[in-house]
Chains A and B, each alone.
Chain A
C-alpha cells in the first residue's frame, strides 16, 4: 500500500514560519494545528505551570473583545479552538467550516497577541487548576507517570516532572502580571501552522499570510537543553492510594537518544516490536499467554530534536498478583531485548508500522497532527513519504544495536494503587 502525498504542500511564510497544507477528501471540514515558541521548558522550573494556565486563558478575553463576545463569535460559526502548552511551545488546535478559516486564524492571532488575562479569569483558572491537580492525586496512572519521571531524570531535564504539591505551590504563586509578561513571548518565533481538510492551498496560504501578519516577533529561539545527568538505576517508587481496584505500573529507562541519533528509527522499531500493539511481544506474552493484564504497552517517549528521551512501559495489574506480574514483565522485557529481534520479527514489525502509519493518515485530523509534528521535529516535508522507506531499510544488525541501547538492569519502576500488605 502507498499513500499519495503529492497534494501536500509546504510554504515559507513571508514574515517567517512554516505552513503545511494537506487538502483531503473531507467535505465541510478544516482542521488546523499550530504552535509558536513559549512553553514550560523556557521558564524556571518553579514557573513550569504558567504556560498551561496562560494557554487556558488566551481565549478568555482580549484587549479587543470580552470573553463572552469572543467565544460566542466562535460558537456562532461552529468553530472550535483550544490552546495548550508543552515543551518549548504554546499550541493551538482548531476546527471550522471551509468558509470560516480566515475567522479562525484571525482569532488565533488575536488570542496570542492581545489576550488580556482579566483578574477574575486568572482567579478562576487557578481554581480550576487546583481542582485538576486534586483530581490527579487519585489517578493511579498519572501518579505513577510523575513518579517515574522523577526517578529517571534530573530536575533540570525537560522530561522531569515535578510533584503535584510543587505544581500546587506554583499555581498558587501566579499573578496576573506573570501571565501578561509571558504573553509577550508569544509571537512568530517558531511558528508552524498545519491545515488539512476541505481547503484550496492558495486560498488557505493567503488566509494564513493575512491573519498572521500582525503577529510580533516574540521569542525566536527555543531554550538550550542539557542531556540527562541522572545515572540510570533500577530504582523503585510505590505511590499508595486507597480504594483502588488495580495497580498502574510504569517502567522506564532514559536513553541517550535524540531525533538525530543514527539508531533513532531502529529504536522506534524495537520498541514497537516489544510493546506496540496486540501482536507485540509483551501483549502476546503478558496479556494473551499469561492473562496478567488488560494492556501492556511500550513506547519511546520524550524524544525531540534537542531532547534525549526514554523507553516507557505501561501496564495495569491486579493487586493480588502484583509482585508476580512485575517479575514476569521484567523477565519478558529482558528476554525480548536479548533474543527477540529476529529476521521474522523485524520484517513483521516493519510491515505493521508502515501499514499502520498509512492507515492512521486516512483522517483529516491525523494528517493535520502529523504535519504539525513534522514541523516541530524540524523535518522536511519529504519525511512524510520517506518515513516508510527509512523503516524498510532498517537491518537486523541496526535493530539489535538499538536493542542494546536499553539496559534492562537499569529499568526503574513506579507503581500506584492499593497494595496488599506483605
Chain B
C-alpha cells in the first residue's frame, strides 16, 4: 500500500484505488479509465488486455451479434495505425511474435496482446488509438460480415452449440441472454454500419474500459505509459446507455427439441440461477464441480461409468445478470432422452434429499486450488481470469471468490441444489439425431 502511494506521487494524473491479491487498481483521473497491474518478472513477456463492459447483453432485436461484429471491425485500422500510414498494428505486432486476438461474451468484449516486453508502449498506443479512433467503415463491414457469418456457420455445425442456443432462447424471453453472443444470422448479415458506429460511440469509452497489464513490468513506467497513451481521451458527458430489462419470473418447466441429421443424441437442462455476485454462487459452483468434474464426480459415475452416456458436463454461468446452471449429457448409443433425463434428475434428487459428503466437498476444493494455481500461470491466464471478474461487475472477486469457495459447506451445497435445481425453473432440451 505504501509503495502504491509513492507511485501515485510520481505519476501525475493517476490515482491509486486499492490492492488485492497482488493486483493494484488505479484510475486515470482525467477520464475514469480503470487500470489494473499484476507484475511478474519471471518471463520476458507482458500481457495487455483491454476489457470493455459491453457484450451481447447490450444488444436487442435487429442488432444481435453487433458486439461481436464490431470486435472484428476493430482490427481494420484506426487513425494512427492503418494501412496508409505504416500498416495495421495488430499485424505488425503479430509479425514480431505477439499473440493477438479479441473475444466477445455476454457481458464484455476484450482485446489482448501477449508481447515481448519491449513492445508494451506500442501495444498501449495501439489500444488507446482504437478505443476512440477506430475506422468502422462500410467497406470493411462488407468484407468482414461473411467472415463472421462463416464463424456462425462453424458454430451452427455443432449439436452442443445448437442445443445450448435453443435452451437459452427458451429460458430467457425478455432479457438479451435470450440470444447467443454471435447473434442471429439475419442480424449478422443485415445490421447497418450506422448501428455499429453508434454502438462503438456508446460503449468504447475510457470510463467503460479496464486496461489490465500482467507480466514483466515496471509499475511506475507502465502507469506513465498508460497515462500517455490513454490520457488524450476525454471523459464522455453522456451516461452509458442503461440495460434495464429484467427477465420475468419463470412459471413452470419449459422444453425444447431440435432435430437434425446426426448419430449422437444430447440432453441439456438449464436451471435459473442468480447473478455472479450473489451470495449463493460459491455453493452453486461447488455443486457443478461435484456433479461433473473428474471421474469421481456424481454424474460421471452414474452415467458415463455406467455406459449410459459418453460425456456429462455442468457449467455454473457467472454473469452480470441472473443466468443458467447448465447440465449437458451426451447419450451413449441406443439410450433414449427420456430414460437419461430420469436418471439425471434422480441424481439431482439424491443431492437435494441427502446432501453431499464431506469428501466430495474436499475433492471439489482441491479442484479449486488447482484452478487458482493455473490461472496465474502466464500472463494470458491471469488476464483472462481477471477479465471475467471485471465483466461480472467487481474485479476483486478474483480474490474474494476463491475465499468464499473455501468456506462453502456441504449443507450450503444441498441448500442451493434444493433452491435452484427445481423443475419449474428449468428448461429441458433434447437434440434428437435423425440418423445420417
Contact = CB atoms under 8 A, between A and B. Distances in A.
Physical interaction between A and B: yes
Interface of A: 1-3, 24-29, 59, 68, 71-72, 75-78, 80, 95, 97, 123-124, 127-128, 130-132, 134-135, 137-140, 241-246, 277-279, 287-294, 316-318, 348, 351-366, 417
A120 to B, nearest CB: 9
Given A75-B295, A291-B142, 14 more contacts: A1-B97, A25-B40, A78-B366, A241-B261, A242-B260, A242-B261, A277-B94, A294-B150, A351-B96, A358-B97, A359-B98, A363-B380, A363-B381, A364-B377
Name which of A25, A138, A293, A360 has the most chain B CB atoms within 10 A of its CB. Answer: A138
Contacts of B380: 363
B333 interface: yes
Contact of B376 (A26, A279, A348, A356): A26
B264 A131 contact: yes
Contact of A97 (B118, B307, B369, B378): B369
Interface in B98-145: 98-100, 114-118, 142-145
Interface stretch (B153-161, B391-399, B405-413): B153-161
A242 B260 CA distance: 8
A75 B261 contact: no
Contacts of A72: 296, 359, 363
A29 to B, nearest CB: 4
Nearest to B304: A128
Contacts of A357: 97
A128 B370 contact: no
Contacts of B262: 137-138, 243
Nearest to B296: A75
Interface in B372-423: 372-374, 376-381
A244 B155 CA distance: 10
Contacts of A123: 307
Contacts of B44: 1-3, 358
B310 A131 contact: yes
A278 B146 contact: no
A123 B308 CA distance: 12
A355 B263 contact: no
B2 interface: no
20 contacts: A29-B373, A68-B296, A75-B295, A75-B366, A77-B366, A78-B370, A80-B294, A130-B332, A130-B333, A135-B264, A137-B262, A137-B263, A138-B433, A241-B261, A242-B261, A245-B153, A289-B143, A348-B95, A355-B97, A363-B381
Nearest to A417: B157
Contacts of B148: 294
A353 B378 CA distance: 19
Contact of B307 (A124, A241, A287, A354): A124
A55 to B, nearest CB: 14
Residue among A245, A354, A359, A417 having the largest count of chain B Cβ atoms under 10 Å: A359
A1 B118 contact: yes
Contacts of B433: 138
B99 A25 contact: no
B340 to A, nearest CB: 12
Contact of B151 (A1, A75, A77, A294): A294
Contact of B366 (A1, A76, A244, A365): A76
A134 B157 contact: no
Contacts of B374: 29, 95
B164 interface: no
A131 B100 CA distance: 37
A297 to B, nearest CB: 13
Contacts of A352: 94-97
A354 B377 contact: no
A285 to B, nearest CB: 12
B240 interface: no
Contacts of B159: 138
Given A80-B294, A318-B153, A359-B98, A26 B362 contact: no
Nearest to A280: B94
Contacts of B9: none
Interface residues of B, number: 71
B17 to A, nearest CB: 26
B144 A243 contact: no
A75 B363 contact: yes
Leading 9 A-B pairs by shortest Cβ distance: A355-B97, A25-B42, A78-B366, A363-B378, A131-B310, A242-B261, A1-B116, A246-B153, A245-B156
Contacts of B381: 363
A71 B296 contact: yes
A336 B96 CA distance: 21
B94 A278 contact: yes
B436 interface: yes
Given A127-B332, A128-B310, A137-B436, A27 B373 contact: yes
B367 interface: yes
A363 B147 contact: no
B51 interface: no
A244 B97 contact: no
A26 B377 contact: yes
B91 interface: yes
A3 B378 CA distance: 14
A26 B379 CA distance: 11
Given A2-B44, A242-B261, A358-B97, A131 B146 contact: no
B436 to A, nearest CB: 6
A127 B116 CA distance: 48
Nearest to B308: A127
A72 B381 CA distance: 28
A109 to B, nearest CB: 19
Interface in B260-296: 260-264, 294-296
Contact of B114 (A27, A362, A365): A362
Contact of A365 (B116, B153, B377): B377
Contacts of A245: 152-154, 156-157
B369 A78 contact: yes
A246 B150 contact: yes
Nearest to B101: A278
Given A128-B304, A138-B264, A351 B154 contact: no
Contact of B116 (A131, A355, A361, A366): A355
B212 interface: no
B154 to A, nearest CB: 5
Contacts of B307: 123-124, 127-128
A279 B99 contact: no
B116 A359 contact: yes
B90 interface: yes
Given A137-B263, A246-B156, A124 B305 contact: yes
B147 A291 contact: yes
Interface in B323-356: 330-333
A243 B153 CA distance: 11
B254 interface: no
A75 B42 CA distance: 30
Given A71-B296, A131-B332, A355-B96, A242 B45 contact: no
Nearest to B114: A359
A364 B96 CA distance: 22
Nearest to B363: A75
B43 interface: yes
A358 B116 contact: yes
Contacts of A138: 159, 261-264, 433, 436
A195 to B, nearest CB: 14
A358 B45 contact: yes
B8 interface: no
Contacts of A130: 332-333
B233 interface: no
Contact of B367 (A59, A78, A358): A78
B49 to A, nearest CB: 15
B149 interface: yes
